[in-house]
Amino acid sequence: MTSPHELDQVRLNFSPDDLLLLNLALVLIMYGVALDLRLKDFSYLFKNPKPFLLGVLAQFLLLPFFTWILILIMNPPPSVALGMFLVAACPGGNVSNFLSNLARGNTALSVSLTGFSSIGSILLTPLNFTFWASQYPASKQLLRTISLDISDVLLTIILILGIPLFLGILTRTFFSNFADQAKKVLQPLSILIFAGFVVVAFAGNFDLFLQYITLIFGWVLAHNSVALATGFLTAKLAKLPLPDTKTLSIETGIQNSGLGLVLIFTYFEGLGGMAIITALWGIWHLISGMAIAAFWRNYR
């Protein structure tokens, strides 16, 4: 019988070319997302501060905290715990705006939160990850053996998130017509490239995924449920309107797992528990997000 702790010794097969493909996909995805962002979109912060600040609170403080609580309860292997901490520290996923709109949530709030979380993640993702990972003894010990350089992680996030977002916002602001045309090509193209990466990753490591998927899926399901519930309960306790509640739930439950995978293959040598749980999260959160958005679409 497969032991969960065997995941700490597993390394996924991943070539430099595969990593380049993943980086390219993420750059295109973030640039495509930013083509929908205008500088005035961030004015939502000043016009409606309460739901915006609650969304930031749920994303960057409450989700990592409840992830830590969940890990203490489930006691997963150190590499899996690191993967869960990393997913929780990543910004919102690029499909959250689409899902929020599908659910008839507050699209303006979703756009503002996506933009802020993506920019804020340049600093907050490495800080959140290292802080919370150090609060769980097993993952703290594993993190020490890896000798992670936070400045390198920061630079990577700036290159694959910060710069594409900045260029995309500038394109939308000053070349609006071009942005309209470019996003029609770049957004579906980037998703196809990312899907291609997932297929390559699964094909090259099919036996490993097949061996460990039953172990990993329960952790992913529990973690994603906690993420969705964190956004939902934060909004409910604050008595936000239903459209805002939908958006906070989706924004907190949809994480940028692509960024997590880039960091894992760049700095953690494809560490099995981290990589498998992050990759499976990237698939499952789309399924859960679509299901919730479709359910909520008829509730106003």
pLDDT in tens, the chain (300 residues): 455 656 656 556 666 666 677 777 778 777 877 777 776 666 666 777 888 899 999 999 999 999 999 999 998 888 889 999 999 998 887 778 778 878 888 877 887 788 788 788 888 888 899 899 999 988 887 776 666 667 777 777 788 778 888 888 888 888 888 888 887 777 677 667 666 666 766 666 667 777 777 778 889 999 999 999 999 999 999 999 998 999 999 999 988 887 888 888 777 776 677 888 888 887 788 888 888 988 888 776
pLDDT at 201: 65
**15 residue type, one letter:** S
Cβ atoms < 10 Å from Cβ of 180: 12
CA–CA distance, 239 with 241 (Å, rounded to integer)? 7
Contact indicator for 234, 244 with CB cutoff of 8 Å: no
Which residue type, as a one-letter code, is found at position 25? A
> 97, 115, 116: which is closest to 107 by C-alpha?
97
Per-residue pLDDT, 171? 86
pLDDT at 191: 66
Contact 230, 70 (CB under 8 A): no
Domains and CATH numbers, the chain: 4-296 (1.20.1530.20)
Q: What pLDDT is stored for residue 296 in this prediction?
A: 87
- Distance between CA 272 and CA 278 in Å, rounded? 10
Predicted local distance difference test score (pLDDT) of residue 298: 79
DSSP string for residues in 210-261: HHHHHHHHHHHHHHHHHHHHHHHHHHHHTT--HHHHHHHHHHHH-B-HHHHH
Rounded Cα distance between 188 and 101, Å, is 17
* Contact (Cβ atoms closer than 8 angstroms) between residue 243 and residue 105: yes
Q: Smallest Cα–Cα separation from 125: which of 166, 97, 167, 153?
A: 153
| pLDDT of the residue at 107 | 78
Bridge partners, residue 92, by sequence:
255
Is the separation of the CB atoms in 35 and 183 below 8 Å? yes
Angle separating helix axes 78-89 and 206-237, nearest 10 degrees: 50
Q: What is the C-alpha separation between 88 and 258, in angstroms, rounded?
A: 13
What's residue 154's pLDDT?
A: 77
Q: Which residue has the tokens 């640039």?
A: 31
* pTM metric for this prediction: 0.84
